[in-house]
Structure 1
Amino acid sequence: METSQLNQSQEPRILDFSNDLILQSKKIPLLNPSEFETKVWAFVREFLEENPYIELKTSGSTGEPKTILAEKEKLKISAQRTLDFLDLNPKNQKSTHPDLFFALVLPIEYIAGKMMVIRALVAGAKLLVIEPKTQICFPIGCPKIALLALTPMQLSQSLEGFPEVSHVLLGGAKLNENLQEQIHTTFEKKRENNKNLPTFWETFGMTETFSHIALKQVFLKKNAFFEVFDSVEIFQDESGCLGLKDKALGLHLKTEDLVEVLSAKTFVWKGRKGNVINSAGVKIFPESIENILEAKLGFPFFVHGIPDDVMGQKVSLFLEVGENLSDLEKENIKTKTLQTLENLKDSLGKFQKPKAIFLLKTFERTLSGKIQRDKTVKEFLELM
């Protein structure tokens, strides 16, 4: 996704899925459509075709990208239960809100973007189509949005000038404590001005589950756990990973997500199994370290284990610092980072504190902006 210097575009670009004539049209109903708008319309036409299946691509953030053949009916079921959970069922809404607006700000190539289009189709909503950039350009005169899905990175860059929204879905990366605090600070000010406030939900799901199967409210109230949909049953396997049965979608699978299951319907996410660092016999969750370091380093970063003859794996911190830095500037960054780690030693503890710091020009990322940890580290180690 590109970064924009502006936070407003000129006018709303809307696909009206409540209009049967538009749905029947082969031609995109937008004047001078952009490349992104053309791709979105192509997906709409593909989804409305009689072929009962559609291809989905995984992002590749945790391995090689793969293609999944999905039944369109199951994608509709997934869309409908999100609408039901959030009380956005068009039968309930249209009596009081005849214009139901959803917004698409995500790439159409992956499940998150596709599902926003499908939710709009199922709801018969009007879909605002907005270029998927890191800083979202909301249109001037933006109507109230009933449902918006975006990544934590997009939200962090787009809080200023954020439009009136009922529900915000956050996914694609973990929602860190710093951003949760930003959400609270930003929207509590609006509460004081008696403005309508959005409800923010962190999502849990993957391409294989046809979008999210669980939600965690992080604002207006803040929950510590995810709650799965009614048709989903969860369990913890012998390795501590989440397993699930989804009766509505006919799914039975085990994930690579390490969790603490609190009940048949609730769980706490701890991290990815493939990310766990085994250092001197101690299992360390890099996500917990990252949560402590968030917003304290001044650069994009992640924690990963690298091979070590003594410890097996060494807890290592990778910083994305960009191009054209002098040796002195790099040394200053390392010095400041070491001081930050020292200041946080009580929070980090003996085993979680990174033992090595590496400065990289750039991280490998997917099209949707997810850091490809393994690929980044592998390429770095090959150059060492």
Structure 2
Amino acid sequence: MDYTLTLNGSTYSRGELLDLVSENESSPKEYLRLFWTFIGEWFDDKEYLEVYTSGSTGRPKKIRVLKQHMVNSARMTCNALGLQTGDSALLCLSTGYIAGKMMVVRAMVAGLDLTLVEPSGTPTIDKDYTFCAMVPMQVFNLASSGHLVFSLNRIGKLIIGGGPISSDLKKMLEPLTVACYSTYGMTETVSHVALRRLNGSGKQHAYYPMPNVAVSLNEEGCLVIDAPLVASTRLETNDIGEISPDGSFKILGRLDNVINTGGVKVSPEVVEAKLSGCSNVPFAISWLPDRQLGEKVVLVVEGNGDFILNYKDILLPYETPKKVVRVGKIPLTPNGKIDRVALRMLIFATEL
């Protein structure tokens, strides 16, 4: 694939980029090593890349994604957001993951002027950008900081993915001028296949599939994705969904996270969403074995913080935690999602 890439205003050919790979592949900074390693892999003779899934529900898996699918995905995103040649883009995600890699591919495909900064929980935004992608934690850190929140308004369009967006964060985004979008997708679809506008006059309450993407539900109520431009096969997800007549959809939780308590199925994500305004400390919903119920709902709280409100007034009886477990730190995946498997192991070791 013979693309050029514009970095900080300078456009480099394939040959020039490969020369830079040789010069920078031993950089002492990890984010630069990962970036230039990806550039080298992009221009090699293989039709695919080997990447890892997020590992939010188990151990990350190595899979192969086609470079042509990545190109197709990049075109879909740039077309959906109206990005044009010469627009500026900020890369503040690690290119060790698909989200960071796709920012580079979008820059190559659409002719964007890409600025690369070291990934951090609080990205540096020192000038105006047309486009950027972040994970929820990065956006939250900026939006909740009195002097940094306005730096988000230096971005024209911001896509947010890789983890759930809390109700608190959604409220923080409401007054900002940056157009914020929540993304739905996975490594297997080489980035998102649906977008949801979170603020502004075009605010949406569900995800809308990208062109040439069809969604349906299987017998278990989980989302099935048919996206031939970005995935070679139909993908049956573990995401419990709800599809509206206009084709938009909502995600209610994950089938593999469902807690079966006394024969009633409870989605941890749904309970966490209901409790999102009740705590000033990180928390999660999990389960422990129970002689009567089989599995009982457990509230896991990080540290010694307290819930501000009485959560029993918010939850249905079967959703209400039967026990509160305190842990030093709630385990997260590298992408910032709750590591459900590690969390269960942690509370099992603590309580059983």
TM (norm. structure 1) is 0.81
1:106 corresponds in structure 2 to 93
Residue in 1 that maps onto 2:69:
74
Cα distance change of structure 1 residues 38 and 353 upon mapping to structure 2, 3 Å threshold: same
How far is the alpha carbon of 1:242 from its aligned partner? Answer: 0.3
Q: Which whole-Å CA distance do the structure 2 matches of 1:296 and 1:135 have between them?
A: 25
Q: Does 1:127 align with 2:94?
A: no
Distance in 2 between residues matched to 1:23 and 1:53, nearest whole Å? 22
**1:118 — aligned with what?**
105
State the shift of 1:238 in Å: 0.3
**C-alpha contact 1:172 1:370 (8 A) present in aligned 2:** yes
Distance 2:337 2:183 in 1: 15
Q: How does 1:156-171 map to 2 (within 5 A)?
A: 156-159=140-143, 160-163=149-152, 164-171=154-161
Q: Contact between 1:233 and 1:264, CA under 8 Å: does it hold in 2?
A: no
User: Where does residue 4 of structure 1 map in the other structure?
Assistant: none
Provide the residue aligned with 1:86 in structure 2.
Answer: 81
Match of 1:346 in 2: 313
Query: Which position in structure 2 is the counterpart of 1:183?
Result: 173
Separation in structure 2 between the aligned mates of residue 137 and residue 295 of structure 1, nearest angstrom: 28
Comparing 14-23 and 126-135, the one that deviates more:
14-23
* Distance change in 2, residues 1:114/1:17 (3 Å): farther
Matched, 1:381 2:348: yes
1:312-334: CA deviations, max 9, x gaps? 1111111121xxxxxxxx4xx4x
Contact (CA 8 Å) 1:17, 1:120: kept in 2 or not? no
1:75–1:210: 8 Å Cα contact kept in structure 2? yes
Structure 2 alignment gaps of length 5 or more: 1-5, 144-148
Aligned residues of 1:204 and 1:212 also touching (Cα < 8 A): yes
Unaligned runs of 5+ in 1: 1-12, 91-98, 188-196, 322-329
Q: What is the Cα deviation at residue 44 of structure 1?
A: 1.5
Aligned to 2:214: 233
Query: How big is the shift at 1:46?
Result: 1.5
Post-superposition Cα deviations, 1:87-112, rounded to whole Å, max 9, x if no partner, equal: 1143xxxxxxxx42111111211111
- Residue 147 of structure 1 pairs with residue 131 of structure 2: yes
**Would you say the 8 A contact 1:235–1:264 is kept in 2?**
no
Q: How many residues align?
A: 335
Deviation at 1:16, TM superposition (A): 4.9
Counterpart in the other structure of 1:372: 339
> Displacement of 1:292 after TM fit?
2.1
Measured against aligned partners, the alpha-carbon deviations of 1:193-225 in whole angstroms (never above 9, x if no partner) come to: xxxx22111000001111100111111232111
In structure 2, what is the equivalent of residue 279 of structure 1?
Answer: 261
Tell me the CA shift for residue 251 of structure 1: 2.9
**What's the % identity of the aligned pairs?**
30
Match of 2:252 among 254, 259, 270: 270
SS in 1 for 2:163: coil
SS of 2:314's partner is: helix
* Whole-angstrom CA distance in 2 between matches of 1:53 and 1:303: 38
Looking at structure 2, the residues matched to 76 and 138 of structure 1 have their Cα atoms a distance apart, in angstroms, of 27
Aligned 8 A contact 1:130 1:138 in 2:
no
Rounded to whole Å, the distance in 2 between the matches of 1:25 and 1:284 is 51
Counterpart-to-counterpart distance in 1, 2:84 and 2:112: 10
**1:45 corresponds to:** 40
1:309 aligns with 2:299: no
Tell me the secondary structure at the aligned position of residue 26 of structure 1. Answer: helix
Q: Quote the Cα distance in structure 1 between the aligned partners of 2:17 and 2:58.
A: 39
CA distance in 1, matches of 2:241, 2:296: 23
1:212 counterpart = 2:192: yes
Separation of aligned partners in 1, 2:162 and 2:14: 34
- Asked if 2 retains the 8 angstrom alpha-carbon contact of 1:258 and 1:273, the reply is yes
Amino acid at match of 2:211: D
Q: Which amino acid aligns with 1:182?
A: M
Per-residue CA distance 1:209-255 (angstroms, 9 max, x = gap): 11100111111232111111121111110000001211323331100
SS in 2 for 1:40: helix
Q: Which residue in 2 is equivalent to 1:138?
A: 125
Distance in structure 2 (CA, Å) of the matches to 1:101 and 1:251: 34
Deviation at 1:366, TM superposition (A): 2.1
* 8 A contact 1:235–1:244 mirrored in 2: yes
State the Cα distance separating 1:169 from its structure 2 match: 0.5
